[in-house]
Chains A and B, each alone.
Chain A
Amino acid sequence: MPSELTMPELMYREALNQALAEEMERDANVFLIGEEVGRYNGAFKVSQGLLDKFGSARIIDAPISELGFTGMSVGAAMVGLRPVVEMMTWNFAILAMDQIVNNAAKLRHMSGGQLRCPIVFRGPGGAGGRLSSQHSQALEANYAHFPGLKVIAPATPADAKGMLKAAIRDENPVIMFEGERLYAIKGEVPEGEHVVPLGKADVKREGTDVTIITWSRMYYFCMQAAEELAKEGISAEVLDLRTLRPLDEEAILASVRKTNRVVIVEEGWALAGVGASVVDIIQSKAFDDLDAPVARVTGLDVNMSYAANLENATQPDAPKIIDAVKKVLYREGA
């Protein structure tokens, strides 16, 4: 297709920047607030250049008071503005969790359907980078737990742009996890009106022997593992969930019915993780289609260390995924 050939390559952060600029252009109710989003151009440069374009009433440098500016933005959304709240990292958003969970997620319910809260909370999540325990965690499972929220975690620049645009247009509170270590990743991104619907998973690589289910940064390890496995004649399908709440059950079950074997790869901890719910969906709705127990590759059940070797050992990677795939295929040596 010629149009695909001419698609520009953008970094993940540039794709997000483009989505923000386009949506702010389209709708004056959209504003961005967060720490360092304005004159500093964003701690991770997602908001580069936006202050000059849209002014200080729409690109708002907030004080370092996460609960305060998060709650303020929820209030603005209650009366029809469409705030995008940038969390410098999701680790800091723990301070704002009351406003997200007790207010944003519950306003419509508690008001019996009178109120809506169209707001996006976005920022980098995930582990790595030698940052130790407080700055290095994949926290999406926490938010996926709450009714009233939508939770998304795009892996590619194209999805990042399309899903942020969809999130800004959504009438509900949307939690968007961006991979802190994905911001500089490049990929083809359609120009202009490119909206990726929330709640839809995506088969990023077709395969027949095993399904690897994942999202966000782990997607890249899964693709790497799939390429390695192909060399050994194993055909792996990679299903990128993209949205963690609501989960795309249909896509999960369709792939399971095709390959009959599943490995779920999650950056966060195993207990009460998103992957645990995916296992539940599979075993309760496609048990007869399984040829092996579902395997999970997750972060280890420990806090993150600063030491490089400990940090590496804590996280999933391609070799761990390959091992898990061989295990569900009952291959020797696994």
Chain B
Amino acid sequence: MASPYSKEQLLTMYRKMYLIRRFEERAGQQYTLGKIAGFCHLYIGQEAVAVGPIEAIRPDDYMLSAYRDHGQPLARGSDAGMVMAELFGRGTGYSKGKGGSMHIFDIEHHFYGGYGIVGGQIPLAAGMAFASRYRNEDRVTVCYFGDAAANQGSFHETFNMAAKWKLPVIYICENNRYGMGTAIARTSAVPEIHKRAAAYGMRGEPVDGMDCLKMYEAVKDAAAYCRAGKGPVLLEANTYRFRGHSMADPATYRSKTEVEEERKNDPIPKLRDHALKNKLGQDSDFEAIEEEVKAQVDAAVKFADESPEPSLEELWRDTIVEEGEQDVRPRERVLGVKVTNWPKYPSGQELKVTWDLEPREQAEAADKKAGLSR
């Protein structure tokens, strides 16, 4: 069967996956050199889970993630140098070096952050989706979390509300089979996370998370479903991280054979093979992309390394919004790029809320049936 994709689409996806791979390899190297500290959770092996979905949604759809959060902003278009500078703890990073690896935020590209508490971002995504409905916007919110987060209360509490109120949110569980060092099957009564959606009457599906195109298709479909007001979707991306949980983890809890087996399933050559087989790109196209990306990542490391640490005055900024204080636009501040797509929200006067969470007729009918008077 012929590929339904254009050459441009495939090369774009390849470029993004390759960028994440090279960026993370260099991040790992810089960690061992002591340039990056703290926890540094690498995304190597899971690139398809970020890139497929991001190609399938609109640039102004909301997105947020957990602490393994370098890949998504890179795929959304964030500046690689500024992401690397954040890992280095430099003032030129997206969060001025205050967030570090686990807290990349790039609001210009509608990436609403990485979060360090397992499952803590799950309700936030429902709230962002709620805001879209409240304002009659047809945006979707895409929220990533790991398999272990599915055992947190936040998962269950949020799914109940998101399903009840039909919120336009796509939850992507990145099931890489380990919650830190513990295999998900050892801690979960139902390790197939997508099945849990059924408990909330919500759509839930497994997806091959090692296949960028499968991820693309699944999210394209889910986004249309959400925009049509049909409610939230849970996708379980079955994926694998080739490295440890973080740079501090030698990953001795899994066998060499297992990792070797999974490495055969690498999503990056898989996409390349698809393109070559369908004559949508040739070796020279991919080689050119790889050269460009390598240079881009080299420049990112150089930029981070040469950037100054944040000034000590920064300690006292960004905790409380002072009266009249403007929000920080990182690329504008650091690179002098004019940021034009900063989110703008309708003021209280412009906004008309027409949505009903519990339509009055329905409520009255239910009361009548129950013999209640209002």
Contact = CB atoms under 8 A, between A and B. Distances in A.
Interface stretch (A12-20, A86-94, A104-112, A307-315): A104-112
Interface in A1-34: 26-31
Contacts of B107: 111, 114-115
B77 interface: no
A67 B153 contact: yes
B117 A98 contact: yes
B86 to A, nearest CB: 8
Contact of B351 (A29, A73, A79, A148): A29
B206 interface: no
Contact of A70 (B115, B123, B319): B123
B148 to A, nearest CB: 16
A109 B97 CA distance: 10
Contacts of B62: 79
Contacts of A65: 153, 157, 160-161
A113 B363 contact: no
Contact of A115 (B96, B116, B325, B327): B327
Contacts of B116: 102
A28 B161 contact: no
A195 to B, nearest CB: 13
Contacts, number: 189
A139 B84 CA distance: 41
Interface residues of B, number: 66
B195 to A, nearest CB: 21
A72 interface: yes
A171 interface: yes
Contacts of A242: none
A25 B349 CA distance: 9
B99 interface: yes
B134 A57 contact: yes
A119 to B, nearest CB: 10
Interface string A156-171: 0000000000000001
A69 interface: yes
A56 B359 CA distance: 7
B318 A109 contact: yes
A38 B317 CA distance: 38
B337 to A, nearest CB: 15
Contacts of A172: 320-321
A71 B329 CA distance: 25
Contacts of A27: 347-348
Contact of B317 (A55, A113, A171): A113
Interface stretch (B124-132, B259-267, B271-279, B287-295): B124-132
B357 A75 contact: no
A60 interface: yes
Contact of B120 (A71, A77, A81, A83): A71
Given A55-B356, A72-B126, A112-B318, A103 B115 contact: yes
Interface string B29-67: 000000000000000000000000000000000100000
B95 A110 contact: yes
A83 B130 CA distance: 11
B351 A76 contact: no
B94 interface: yes
Closest 7 CB pairs of A and B: A75-B127, A71-B123, A68-B157, A27-B348, A113-B328, A80-B345, A112-B95
Given A61-B358, A70-B123, A74-B127, 19 more contacts: A29-B346, A29-B351, A39-B374, A55-B360, A57-B354, A63-B161, A65-B157, A67-B153, A72-B126, A72-B130, A72-B158, A76-B128, A76-B131, A102-B120, A110-B103, A111-B99, A114-B106, A114-B328, A115-B105
